[in-house]
A and B are shown apart, each in its own frame.
Chain A
């Protein structure tokens, strides 16, 4: 049931992208997102698609995994496409009752869908190639300057780490409980909405109970090891900006800068 979810999954590897510092990758994803948001013409979209495709190739992540990352959001993408298809003025393409599909609508729909997909692939690439722990380390590092204005950087990062660590566990647990209740005759695929909602009780109650129990155990284990927040904590493996990172940051900054500049000049 949960086997299709690859969003936020890490595929260990040794590619150039894997070796980059997570901060570099976060910066790159932000730069890509800015470019995706500012893109308007087909040429620009084509360029961005090619760029992201190039990054996927560099990362050596299987195409199938990349495609799978789009799957959870396929309905959102389809929905956005349909809305755009029917909501633009202009030359008529075809009619569906009171709705009119237009050529402009088709174009806008395609570009917006592409924009969504590029955003998903770009951010998936970050989580595919970065171990969750490194990602949270990087978040903490990037948030540290904001500590001065009261942002609890360490606590946020720790919460993220714990959430990331326990999401797969939670899925496993849910899978096990669903199987156990199926044996006891629970039929989650049948019945109307209310009935199906009621069917969730035998699954959700044990799931929440075990999540709370786990949280309790974890809190106890952390306290037993004298965890008391971020003050004075160091890392076993410190993040390090290498030459490769400087090169990558410079390249992506250059590309993004040029891209946005051209965009602004052409308005």
Chain B
């Protein structure tokens, strides 16, 4: 559980460069939720999740459970000689060893789809996408209760992206709280059960995806698009077709179109 009570955050406070990135944020994220945080560039998403994880000094933040945070470009934080050592770093710091440690490492490798033989390889000699997987696994191996991810799929190919999102979904089914920053409205609509829209350091909307994407005007104000399915249906409607635009995923959109054209 993470609770923010009237939290603000200012960078470079007290200098001529000071910049307030968060204004009076209050919210509560319960155990087992899947929350997506969306918003245009500079709206305060990364700052918000760092405040949640307790990395930026601020008052009014309470949380329980272990929080794992996967930064944007997490592959930049790798430093060990082998993938195995990299994955062992976090759990060891939290006092895990022996069989439990090995189990954690194997689990994490399986979760991100890294083959067994990668264990002994140097993380620095892997490809960008593989390094990303190692970095994410190095957080998963600490078995976090809350997993926060900052644009985890940015820069990945379609297949790796799908696999990673699938892993995240499965972790959530297993009880892990997920908080994911994303720019992809389709992912947000399809996966999250709650959507937080950030705009200029404030929470603009905090609702279920369906509720959020119905508010076309507010979304436009926040500089955000709708999911692909909704956009297509809206165009159809504009062209004069009598069709509902209430579809979050491609599948839902397909069903609506099929029904409309009786195919």
Contact = CB atoms under 8 A, between A and B. Distances in A.
B74 A180 contact: yes
A169 interface: no
A210 B78 CA distance: 11
A62 B16 contact: yes
Contacts of A234: none
B28 interface: no
Q: How large is the interface on B (under 10, 10 to 19, 20 to 34, 35 or more residues)?
A: 20 to 34
Contacts of A209: 76, 79, 124
Contacts, number: 57
B71 A64 contact: no
B79 A179 contact: no
B55 A181 contact: no
Contact of A177 (B55, B77, B94, B139): B77
B230 interface: no
A65 B14 CA distance: 9
A46 B67 CA distance: 56
B89 interface: yes
B139 A184 contact: yes
B79 A185 contact: no
B12 interface: yes
Interface string A156-174: 0000000000000000010
B18 to A, nearest CB: 10
A184 B76 contact: no
A190 to B, nearest CB: 11
A206 interface: yes
Contact of B55 (A11, A65, A183, A210): A183
B151 to A, nearest CB: 14
A185 B74 contact: no
Interface of A: 3, 6, 11, 62, 64-65, 173, 176-177, 179-187, 201-202, 205-206, 209-210
14 contacts: A3-B12, A3-B15, A62-B16, A179-B50, A179-B71, A180-B71, A180-B74, A183-B53, A183-B68, A184-B89, A185-B92, A185-B93, A206-B78, A209-B124
